Structure 1
Amino acid sequence: MQGAPGVGGYGFAGFTEPPIQNQPPGIGGAIWMPAPPPPPLCCPPGLEYLTQIDQLLIHQQIELLEIITGFETKNKYEVKNTLGQRVYFAAEDTDCCTRICCGPSRPFSIHIVDNLGHEVITLQRPLRCSSCCFPCCLQELEVQAPPGTPVGYVVQNWHPCLPKFTIQDEKRMDTLKIIGPCIVCSCCEDINFEVKSIDETCTVGRISKQWTGFVKEAFTDADNFGVTFPMNLDVKMKAVMIGACFLIDFMFFEHTGDKQQRTGVWQ
């Protein structure tokens, strides 16, 4: 799939640096991860990159307009491997009214493309509540790979004090759990969400919101994340863990207005 029709013929609005087919490493300002060998038949197209990876770095791009005006803009992310090579580029697809009215709780679509500009993963978040007072309407994210084909879900679980999520496969069968800290804030250290087996007895991975320094933490909501998972984990579940990272970002780290309180820079 060559991306959905959109602005400039490059998929959709938000891509300021569209990938160029067959571009050499370094062209266009980014070094892309080399294309891996052809995937097995059970691997959705575009996810073959994940067969060779057990860790990803997700960097949200800083938006100058958002810093100056305070108005929330569409989020854009680079997804890199540990060598700093770009594996995917992700961009939020929402309208201005939704961002203003709903803030970080907004419903969204996030389109993730590979180094050929093909949209390989689509994340769909409906408008839901995240308060433990409304257990029947908690957060949920659908992960599609390729777009239009669900491969898994991230479902928020009710808990009085802990952020907890379940990762489900395309048949809605529980496969993994995600458990965050009781207080989702820190100063000068990472915030870790542990990925555990379904019975919560064994840690198999982690989603970490990385500390990026006082200035960036205080004045922007551009966050950096690390995602680790077993090398032999099903690539579909790896894609769902990427989706879980984006959901966690929106739920806990997109509140620009109260950055000072959460980072401890100002009181």
Structure 2
Amino acid sequence: ADLQKCKIDQLLIHQQIELLEIITGFETNNKYEIKNTLGQRVYFAAEDTDCCTRFCCGPSRPFSIHIIDNLGHEVITLQRPLRCSSCCFPCCLQELEVQSPPGTPVGYVVQTWHACLPKFTIQDEKRMDILKVIGPCVVCSCCQDINFEVKSIDETCTVGRISKQWTGFVREAFTDADNFGIKFPMDLDVKMKAVMIGACFLIDFMFFEHAGDGRQRSGVW
């Protein structure tokens, strides 16, 4: 898979716009294209949840996301269990398991409790802390990108970034289809690159998955 090539230090994730969702407002399974910096698709990602779960749980829903390469092989599976969506309950924060190949955990994205900042810890398969992801105090966009900084475990050094990219007034207001960019160190272990992709999807659901209704979407804070 292209992700295993050490020269890859950036990926672009484009959520596909669902016409049915725009017309009816009914949430459908999300689909994404994952591209390299040349705009070439390297993966396709598809959410797998039933309509009842999407309707009842909204953006807080548990999900499985299957990431498939251009040959049709599933190379990464993301599993998000149902957890509390409020920072007022630090004992029940968000978590995502990353499997590669499917069925083999390679890492986890674990929400870290903080009074005002969205914070996450990137862990390996042994639950050892590897990196931190820290977002802005106010997660909202107005004509600009929203950056979640990827930092060393002691938070002293920035080594990458997950960016929610501004897509224009019409798309921001009336759809929840988002674009993201992921930057990570070239020499980052391939397993941790997969976990970084998982972190991007978790951030999307937590902060930007609210249906477009003309209002500014916000996160769970």
- With the shorter chain as reference, the TM-score category is over 0.9
- CA pair 259-166 structure 1, distance change in 2 beyond 3 A: farther
Paired residues of 2:210 and 2:217 also in contact (CA < 8 A): no
The alpha carbon displacement at 1:211 in A equals 0.1
**What's the TM-score once normalised by structure 2's chain length?**
0.96
Corresponding position: 1:217 with 2:211? no
Aligned runs of 1:114-153 on 2, under 5 Å? 114-153=69-108
Paired residues of 1:49 and 1:87 also in contact (CA < 8 A): no
Cα distance between partner residues in 1 of 2:163 and 2:214:
18
- CA pair 126-48 structure 1, distance change in 2 beyond 3 A: same
The alpha carbon displacement at 1:80 in A equals 0.2
Cα distance between partner residues in 2 of 1:244 and 1:259:
27
Cα distance between partner residues in 1 of 2:112 and 2:66:
25
Structure 2 equivalent of residue 191 of structure 1: 146
Corresponding position: 1:173 with 2:128? yes
Counterpart code for 1:186 = S
Paired residue secondary structure (1:261): coil
Gapped regions of structure 2 (runs ≥ 5): none
1:99-157 per-residue CA deviation (whole Å, 9 max, x = no partner) reads: 00000000000000111100000000000013121111100000000000000000000
- CA pair 252-205 structure 1, distance change in 2 beyond 3 A: same
Cα distance between partner residues in 2 of 1:49 and 1:214:
36
Cα distance between partner residues in 1 of 2:161 and 2:133:
8
Structure 1 equivalent of residue 46 of structure 2: 91
Structure 2 equivalent of residue 227 of structure 1: 182
Corresponding position: 1:77 with 2:32? yes
Paired residues of 1:143 and 1:239 also in contact (CA < 8 A): yes
Counterpart code for 1:231 = M
1:19-63 per-residue CA deviation (whole Å, 9 max, x = no partner) reads: xxxxxxxxxxxxxxxxxxxxxxxxxxx365453310000000000
Counterpart code for 2:44 = F
The alpha carbon displacement at 1:262 in A equals 3.9
Paired residues of 1:155 and 1:165 also in contact (CA < 8 A): yes
Cα distance between partner residues in 2 of 1:255 and 1:262:
6
1:152-191 per-residue CA deviation (whole Å, 9 max, x = no partner) reads: 0000000010000000000000000000000000200000
Cα distance between partner residues in 2 of 1:80 and 1:134:
36
Paired residue secondary structure (1:137): coil
The count of residues paired between Structure 1 and Structure 2 equals 218
Cα distance between partner residues in 1 of 2:121 and 2:90:
14
Structure 2 equivalent of residue 67 of structure 1: 22
Paired residue secondary structure (2:123): strand
Structure 1 equivalent of residue 201 of structure 2: 246
Determine which of 230, 237, 240 is the counterpart of 2:192. Answer: 237
Q: Per residue, is there more helix in 1 or in 2?
A: 1
1:205-247 per-residue CA deviation (whole Å, 9 max, x = no partner) reads: 0000000000000000000000000001000000000000000
Larger radius of gyration between Structure 1 and Structure 2: 1
Paired residue secondary structure (2:139): coil
Q: Per residue, is there more strand in 1 or in 2?
A: 2
- CA pair 48-130 structure 1, distance change in 2 beyond 3 A: same
Determine which of 56, 63, 73 is the counterpart of 1:101. Answer: 56
Paired residue secondary structure (2:6): helix
The alpha carbon displacement at 1:261 in A equals 2.8
